[in-house]
Amino acid sequence: ELKVEQNPLFLSMQEGKNYTIYCNYSTTSDRLYWYRQDPGKSLESLFVLLSNGAVKQEGRLMASLDTKARLSTLHITAAVHDLSATYFCAVEAQKLVFGQGTRLTINP
């Protein structure tokens, strides 16, 4: 059974700092997704990573995928308060399985 683990689960950081969220998964897959969720809201798609070595960037967020290590990272550069949210990775292997989520709080 596919297991997806994120760490850290909680992250409090200051504006302007850099940090990385990690997503490990247990079985072979070449499709990994990152989503953002604001409190009480739905899931906003951030990145779709489809192959080993894929790297995508949007603004202050950059995601990468290493299928051999079964690891994806979401890197935040020079964080701003607006990035405060819960971030989920999700891995597809016959069905989409989500990690536990990382609750990110960015303090001024």
C-alpha to C-alpha distances, 57 to 4, 11, 78, 107, nearest whole angstrom: 22, 21, 14, 23
Question: How far is the C-alpha of 66 from the C-alpha of 96, rounded, in Å?
Answer: 18
Q: Which of 31, 26, 22 is nearest to 88 (CA)?
A: 22
Q: How far is the CB of 31 from another protein (least distance, A)?
A: 7
Strands (E), 29-70: 32-37, 43-49, 55-58, 61-66
Nearer to another protein, 31 or 60 (CB): 31
Nearer to another protein, 22 or 77 (CB): 22
Q: How far is the CB of 2 from another protein (least distance, A)?
A: 11
Q: Which of 47, 40, 36, 45 is nearest to 82 (CA)?
A: 36
Q: How far is the CB of 9 from another protein (least distance, A)?
A: 10
Nearer to another protein, 45 or 107 (CB): 45
Nearer to another protein, 99 or 104 (CB): 99
Footprint of another protein on this chain (CB under 8 A)?
31, 33, 35, 40-43, 45, 48, 50, 88, 92, 95-101, 103
